Structure formats: C-alpha cells, structure tokens
Chain A
Amino acid sequence: MAESSNIVRVTDVYKTFQLGKVEVQALKGVNLEILRGNYISIMGPSGSGKSTLFNMIGGLDKPSSGKVFIDEVDIAQLDAYELAWLRCRKIGYIFQTFNIIQVMTALENITLPMVFAGMNNDAATEKGLQLLELVGLGDRYSHKPFELSGGQQQRVAIARALANDPAIILADEPTGNLDLTTGEEIIALLKRLSQERNVTVISATHDFKMLNVSDQVVWIRDGTVDKIEDREELSISIGKIDTRH
C-alpha cells in the first residue's frame, strides 16, 4: 500500500436523518481530503451539517452513502471492536463541554485511554504525568475536575486526547465554553502540539481566532463544502472574513 499523505478522505458523503416523519438531509455530497499533520478548521453556521461531517470524520457516525476513510481505512467496514480501537488509538477527542469524567482525577482521566489500550499502570501513570506537564498542569494531577477551571479542564482533555499518540485530534468547538484569553491559550496549545507531534488537528468551530492558526479552513454551507481555503488565501481575505457567515 502506498503511504498516502491523506489522513482523512471523505468521498461523496450523504447523510440523511429521520426526524419524526420528515427526512432531513444533513450532508449532500461532501468531498474532502485532509493532509497529515495539518491544522484544519471546519467553519459553518449551525445547521449547516458541520457537526454531522465532524462526527463522520471521528467515526462517531456512519454516512448514509459515500465513504469516509481514516488513514485509508473505510470506517463503514469496521466492526464494533475495530471502531473502538480506532477511537482509542487513532483519534483523540476534545469537546466543547470538556467531558472530563467527573468521578476521576485529572491523572486518571488521562490514563484511562492508555488502560484501554493495554498499557500497564506504571507506564500509563508516567506518561500521564508527562502529558500533564506538557499541557502545563504538572502539579494538578490529583485534582478532581470540579476543582479545575474551564481552561484547565480543557487542558486535561487535550492531554487525554494525546494519551495514545493519535494521528488525529478532533476538537468540537474546543473554545466554545471558554473566555477569550483562555480560548486563545487553548488554541495556541493545540497549534503547538500539532506541530511538535505531527498530529492532524481537525476542529469544528465558530471561533474566528482559530483561523489564524489553521493551515486550511473548510467552509460548510447547506450540507456541502462551500469552499476550502489555504492559509495564504485566508490572510489576504481576512479583512472581510467576518462578513461571510
């Protein structure tokens, strides 16, 4: 198999939801290729199919027709075990609401995916501490989520997403519940990690702060890809960016 530089490939994806008796077409033929190691933002108004596309890429949902390839593997072909494996080892998830497991400490949250991956306890703890150090929370490992601020919780979530050295980090509105400064810190952290570790970051967002760090911005509108812009084009048109949603 030729090593492809596409980490995610979406071909002609349609998705239809059944809402009561009405069929809603959330995605109407999306084609998308995402390069390894890039920082991608998926932008679009709510209801545009942005979240649906995002869930497809994350293997959280399957398309009605069309194919989604992650690392050249068609996710529709995977059974439950393989999907779980994919979620555990290949993809790291970051959520708008942080979704730190409340009953566990910061460190336990980070080591959980490593436990799933079969790592032994000591190695997982050591790596967990390193990851906490990496996101700047080295001294907070024993804290429970409710003892951490929103920004700190999101840092824990980032560390958790990195636990099994995934190829992709999926961030769903990672700054949506954070104030301006904290949001900027989180974005900078994501960007730095993406560069240092060669991780592909894909984030769905409303946040224009994200655009500055993105290698590519995918605009979704009415269930189709409106346009894909590289960073160079972005910086030219950045002046009128706020007029286009």
Chain B
Amino acid sequence: MVDQHIPLSGKEDTTSVNRQIVLPFAKSVEISLKSIKVRFFRSLITTMSLVLAVSFLGFVRVSNDVANGLLATQDRQLRQAVIRAGYDIGPTDTNVGASPKQRWIIILSLMVCVVGIVNAQLMAVTERFREIGTMKCLGALDRFILRLFILEAGMQGLVGAGAGALAGALFALIGALLRYGPVSLAEVSWVAVMGSFAIAIAVGCILSLIGVLYPAVVAARMQPVEAMRVEQ
C-alpha cells in the first residue's frame, strides 16, 4: 500500500496524526445510549442509589418549602401544626432553614450514594474490560473511553436525579396535603419548590459524575493488552 505511506517518522507529523483519530460527539452519545440500553438492568441498579439519595434531598427541601409557606401566613394554628410536625422553630422565627441535623443526614446520604455509584461503576468497568481493550486495539484514545463513561454517567445522572427529585417532591407534597390539609398547597411558594427541584437534579448529576470519575479514569488508562488478558 504505497499511498498509505506512514506519516509517523518525524516529529512534525505529530499534529496530523493527532487529527486523524476522532470520535464525533454525536457518535459518542449514540454509543453511550446503546450501552445503557443493553445493560439496562445494571444501569438501573447504578442509578437506584442516586434516585434514593436525590429523592431524600428533594423530599426534605420541598417539605421545608411547604413549612415556610405555612409560616409565611402568620397563622398561629398553622404555626402550631408545623411545630407539631417536628420542626424546631423559635417563637420569633419566620422560616425553617435546614437545621444542622437535617443537613448532616442529607450529606451523609449523598456520600453513601457516591460510594454506591463508585462501586457500581467499578463493577461495570470490570465487566467491560474486554470491550474497552477491543476499542483501544481499534485505535480508541484514552479520552474516548473517558468520554463514553462520563456521557453514560451524565445521562444516568440526569434521568436518575430527575426521577428522584420528582419522587421526593411528590411525596413531600402528598405528605403535606395529608398533614396540613389543602392550605399547605395553596400557601407554598411554587418558585421555591421549583428551585428545590432544580437543586436536587443538579446535585444528582454532579454526584453521578463524581462517582464515575475514578472508574472512568481506571478504564481509560488501561493498556489494551491488559484488557485482552482478562479471562471471562
């Protein structure tokens, strides 16, 4: 193959080599989507801990929003109801911030969730050693592998966090409806609820990405020959 003269011998050719290995972004998204679809059950389990943690976060935040809405009415009875529901508010407080105790529980649950994601993703990487090695033999660069894993985690994070935030918010609102009656939904600030919802989703996505970072780096750094050696 004379026309395929290898342009590797000189340093000045490095950039042309650089440009010749590509993985278009759309193609990466396609591959990641496919991977999630094929390993749907595993993806579900990976996402589940995220769903639970995010729904907890969403639940707590939206419950606080509801309580704030009730306090804002300045109604003594509603104030008593909020206190009976377990919120520590002083006689002069006009809103319930997240108490330190609440905050710690949330942080703890999110940390457990990240550990769960790291664990699940490491398993996923191990399962896919051969696939990763094959891709590398076909000419994939480290960053292609990194990108695929991060895209997958991003999508899982978005869907999982969305589902979690939705579930958390719904439970919080239903709980409020049962505890305080219809007035709670009438008085709650929907802007605040939407804000809590958005925060829960954002936190979920970030956690998912943090969780996949180490496993993805492990996968990307792997030498193709190591991947081939793994017995399956």
Contacts and interface: CB of A to CB of B under 8 A. Distances in A.
Nearest to A144: B38
Interface string A78-116: 111110111111100101010111111000000011011
A93 B135 contact: no
B35 interface: yes
Contact of B4 (A60, A103, A113, A167): A167
B121 to A, nearest CB: 17
Contact of A116 (B6, B22, B142, B228): B22
B135 to A, nearest CB: 7
Interface size range on B against A: 35 or more
Contact of A87 (B19, B34, B136, B144): B136
Nearest to A100: B134
B130 A97 contact: yes
A150 to B, nearest CB: 15
A115 B23 contact: yes
Contacts of B224: 60, 87
A3 B4 CA distance: 12
Contacts of B19: 118
A221 B61 CA distance: 69
A177 interface: no
5 contacts: A85-B8, A87-B138, A88-B139, A89-B139, A104-B34
Contact of A71 (B6, B131, B138, B144): B6
B84 interface: no
B131 to A, nearest CB: 5
Interface in A6-56: 55
Interface residues of A, number: 41
A215 interface: no
Given A73-B8, A81-B141, A118-B19, 15 more contacts: A60-B225, A61-B225, A72-B9, A73-B6, A80-B142, A81-B14, A82-B14, A84-B21, A85-B21, A101-B134, A113-B139, A115-B23, A116-B144, A117-B20, A198-B1
Contacts of B223: 60-61
Nearest to A167: B1
B138 A160 contact: yes
A165 to B, nearest CB: 6
Interface string B15-38: 001111111100100010011011
A128 to B, nearest CB: 13
Contacts of B217: none
Contacts of A60: 137, 223-225, 228
Q: Give the most central of B18, B27, B139: most A CB within 10 Å.
A: B139
Interface of B: 1-2, 4, 6, 8-9, 14, 17-24, 27, 31, 34-35, 37-39, 130-131, 133-142, 144, 223-225, 228, 232
A93 B227 CA distance: 14
Contact of B8 (A78, A99, A115): A78
A74 B22 CA distance: 24
Given A71-B6, A101-B131, A115 B24 contact: yes
Contacts of A78: 8
A100 B137 CA distance: 12
Contact of B228 (A72, A84, A95, A102): A95
Q: Give the most central of A85, A95, A97: most B CB within 10 Å.
A: A85
Contacts of A88: 20-21, 138-139
Nearest to B26: A121
B134 A85 contact: no
Given A81-B141, A87-B136, A116 B17 contact: no
